[in-house]
Amino acid sequence: MRKIISLMICFVIAISLNDIDAQSKRKRKKEAATAVKPTPPPKKKQGKIKDYNKVITKDAKTDNGLFDVHTVGDKFYFEIPNEYLNTDMLLVSRFAKLPANFGGGFVNAGTKTNTRLVRWERFKDKILIKEKSYSAIADEELPINISVESNNYEPTLYAFDIQAISKDSTKVVIDVTNFYGSDVKALSGLSSRARTQYRVRNLDKSRSFINSMKSFPENIEVIQDFTYNASQPPGNNGDETISVQMNQSMILLPKDKMQPRLFDERVGWFTLSKFDYGSEELKADRKTYLRRWRLVPKDIEAYKRGELVEPIKPIVYYLDPATPEKFRSYMKEGVELWQKAFEAAGFKNAIIAKDPPSKEEDPDFSPEDIRYSVIRYVASTTRNATGPSVSDPRTGEIIESDIIWYHNHLRSYRNRYLLETGAANPSARTLNTPEAEIGEMMKMVIAHEVGHTLGLPHNMAASYAYDVESYRNGPFTQKNGIAATIMDYARYNYIAQPGDIGVRFVRQLGPYDDYAINFGYRYLPNANSPEAERSTLNKWVTEKAGDPIYKFGSQGSNFDPTTQTEDIGNNSVKASTYGLKNLKIVAANLPAWTSDQTNNYDDLGELYGELLGVWNRYITHVTRHVGGVYDDTKNPSQSGSVYSMVSKEDQKTALQWLQKNAFATPTWLLDKNILTNIDYAGYTERLRGLQARQLNILLDFERIGRLIDYSALDSSNYKALDMLRDLRKGIWSEMNSGSNVDVYRRNLQRAHIDRLGFLMTGEMNRQFSRKFYNVNQSDVRSIVRGELNVMKQALRSAANGAVNTETKYHYRDCIERINAILDPK
């Protein structure tokens, strides 16, 4: 019996041990199955994948670099290392050459058409190039990251068959001939809009080819020549052809990502935003970071001690080989003006300008190459300059920038120099501006565009930092310029009066530039995350709060009179009064400074047209105060409101100034000696258009809506009804005095009725209105209807008065116009 029991116990133990051993084996097998295994090298297979030597033959021409690029006959191959699969790269498409007038003047050689973050991925026997986005993120360890990836699935731009495997099995070979040689939309320079505009039918493959393909350690550059069949090409010269040369740059993004820096809306900056779904904020937390270059001090300990230290990798700009020799020094000076601002952030020699390298120095130099930041000199009649850049969408790190300078841009600066400063500045009273002064203007334009490429947007509040009278002070303007930053649209000192001594007329960098560069580029070695920097950044901004020199004002504001373009000084009424006083002197002397010197009227006509534009700007600067709202961006820890309305007194003063300077006929603009030598007709219409423009700005749905809003909050504020009444009394002043109305005022009064009619029947445009409201159910229609009825009664009385026939007919016509508005039937 004992033996039987013992045998049974042994049997049970044996079964248990076997079970434990089986479980252990299953566990080990499961762990082995779930363990992360290194990606095995791709195996050579029969079928599509061929022997390496049969694809990359002995006749192949190879360029070694990021990927080895092979040219075999008319075929192009990439040999992609396995280590670069699933690796972030940036694919940038830009024009290298293009036809004249393509894109309307602001598209040129060097213009980017696409920027995409891409990855090369293997799928079975194919290599896919997929576009990846970092606009939605979550920590990879969090479960929600599964959903982020599922709901942000990246598009596949192209699929390539693997042609061969390298001999050591560490690389895959694909044929990229068709990818770069056909009309792939992801790479094309022709947008859908351009294809429609020029009626593009198709790519003509017989006239299209890959020009070159070069590989460098971190990038690949491809040049394509594409010819399209198009029914209405730019210029439409009958050949029904558009030929463009595209440059495709692909650059490896750094594995050691730059630490992003958080954006503070109180300091202007170009940014990128992403939604973090792993946030604890009970929502997809929007995080916004600065777009900036990576600057790291060579000697961090010296940097910590407050010494100026060179960065490991400075920002370098090359001049375009096409740049005229006489302008090169000014362009380089414009770039290096920013060295002082970077010293405020602790760096010396942080930004450098260089001449283009010779063929001997760098045989591969090309302005399109993404390794180089270049100031492109464009042969174009466009009058402008721009400062775009390319940045890493993961962190905001700026990789490269191409500033665009259009050849004709200096013409605009010469003209405005004459018109805005000629009264007080003798050297501006000529069509042959001294080269040193033209060079100074060019230098400052380049500095402005460089500011954009460093990450700085326009700051339209900077010119409001200085008192109007300071612009007449020589020492003040020489030290401080005409705005607190070069990033404002404050080009010239139009306030300085004849007799003012030693004033500066051209803009320059200012204290805000030092402040902004320090905010964006000061290296914080002890902060190992964006959040760790937050308190320091906030401290810097809070210390400057309330000082107008360090205020940022967005260009996008159309309601804040302190953030206007092309204005200077902290009082628009005073500044525009000085400006108009100077402009009257210029207008009186314009023939003497132009046509009397050239013996033709071309420049006189051009400058008179631009003089009207200057007048319009000075007037608009005052118009913006009516219904204006100050925007003082601040954090809740700071005292005061963010938004506050312009005082009633200042609004009424602005409207009174407009009645005198805009709506009372500016007869000084109607110089017969100018008008009858530049055009055969159109004199009254030109002035009507200028005055009607200001009326339409005043009688705007948004402006009236703001007046209604703020008077509802505080009845002492300027009311919409009061504004309409004050405007009517000035524009129709002849009705009260019983005087005749001249043709210019008749045109203005009809424009006033037409605009009131629009307010009665029109609607707000959602696309252009920041604050949309239901006009039909607001006070707008009722107060406008009331004004029209008051005007109709006054017109009836005035039409029966002792006025001339033209005025009488005008009043009767106005009554009929009002009747048609009030009773369309």
* pLDDT tens digits for range 768-790: 777 889 999 999 999 999 999 99
The rounded mean pLDDT for the chain is: 91
For the ranges 38-52, 196-210, 323-337, 382-396, which has the lowest average pLDDT?
38-52
pLDDT of 4 higher than 80: no
Same domain (yes/no): 69, 116: yes
Same domain (yes/no): 538, 678: no
Same domain (yes/no): 437, 504: yes
Same domain (yes/no): 280, 243: no
Same domain (yes/no): 329, 441: yes
Same domain (yes/no): 29, 92: no
pLDDT at position 101, please? 85
pLDDT of 16 higher than 90: no
For the ranges 331-345, 401-415, 570-584, which has the lowest average pLDDT?
401-415
For the ranges 1-5, 231-235, 397-401, which has the lowest average pLDDT?
1-5
Name the nearest CA neighbour of 119 among 103, 104, 105, 130: 130
Average pLDDT over residues 759-767: 88
Distance CA 311, CA 346 (A): 10
pLDDT at position 3, please? 46
pLDDT of 46 higher than 50: no
pLDDT at position 47, please? 53
Distance CA 441, CA 410 (A): 8
Find all residues with CB under 8 Å of 229, minimum gap 6, and list them: 200, 201, 202, 203, 204, 240, 241
Same domain (yes/no): 695, 774: yes
pLDDT of 33 higher than 50: no
Share of the chain above pLDDT 70, in %: 94
pLDDT of 293 higher than 90: yes
Name the nearest CA neighbour of 626 among 657, 595, 661: 657
In a domain, 23, yes or no: yes
- Model confidence at 7, in pLDDT bands (50, 70, 90)? very low
Distance CA 576, CA 403 (A): 33
pLDDT at position 35, please? 44
Same domain (yes/no): 272, 150: no
With tokens 């001939």, the residue in question is 177
In a domain, 9, yes or no: yes
Residue 307 · residue 362 · CB < 8 Å: no
In a domain, 42, yes or no: no
Give 445-471 pLDDT, tens digit per residue: 999 999 999 999 999 999 999 999 999
In a domain, 620, yes or no: no
- Residue 80 Cα distances to 44, 70, 71, 87, 404, angstroms: 15, 11, 15, 11, 34
Looking at the structure of the chain, the number of domains it has is 4
For the ranges 12-16, 440-444, 642-646, 733-737, which has the lowest average pLDDT?
12-16
In a domain, 627, yes or no: no
Residue 48 · residue 125 · CB < 8 Å: yes
Give 654-684 pLDDT, tens digit per residue: 999 999 999 999 999 999 999 999 999 999 9
The alpha carbon of 599 is separated from its chain's Cα centroid by a whole number of angstroms, namely 41
Rounded to whole angstroms, the maximal C-alpha distance in the chain is 144
Same domain (yes/no): 178, 304: no
Give 249-282 pLDDT, tens digit per residue: 999 999 999 999 999 999 999 999 988 888 777 7
Average pLDDT over residues 715-732: 97
* 12 against 552, higher pLDDT: 552
Could you tell me which residues are beta bridge partners of residue 356? none
In a domain, 242, yes or no: yes
pLDDT of 117 higher than 60: yes
User: Last residue of a domain, which of 197, 229, 252?
Assistant: 252
Same domain (yes/no): 243, 276: no
Share of the chain above pLDDT 90, in %: 79
In a domain, 649, yes or no: no
Average pLDDT over residues 587-599: 96
pLDDT of 139 higher than 60: yes
pLDDT of 534 higher than 90: yes
User: Last residue of a domain, which of 230, 252, 274?
Assistant: 252
Average pLDDT over residues 337-361: 96
User: Last residue of a domain, which of 500, 519, 554?
Assistant: 554
Same domain (yes/no): 766, 722: yes
Q: Which range of residues forms the domain containing residue 447?
A: 260-554
- Model confidence at 37, in pLDDT bands (50, 70, 90)? very low
Same domain (yes/no): 91, 152: yes
In a domain, 568, yes or no: no
Could you tell me which residues are beta bridge partners of residue 806? none
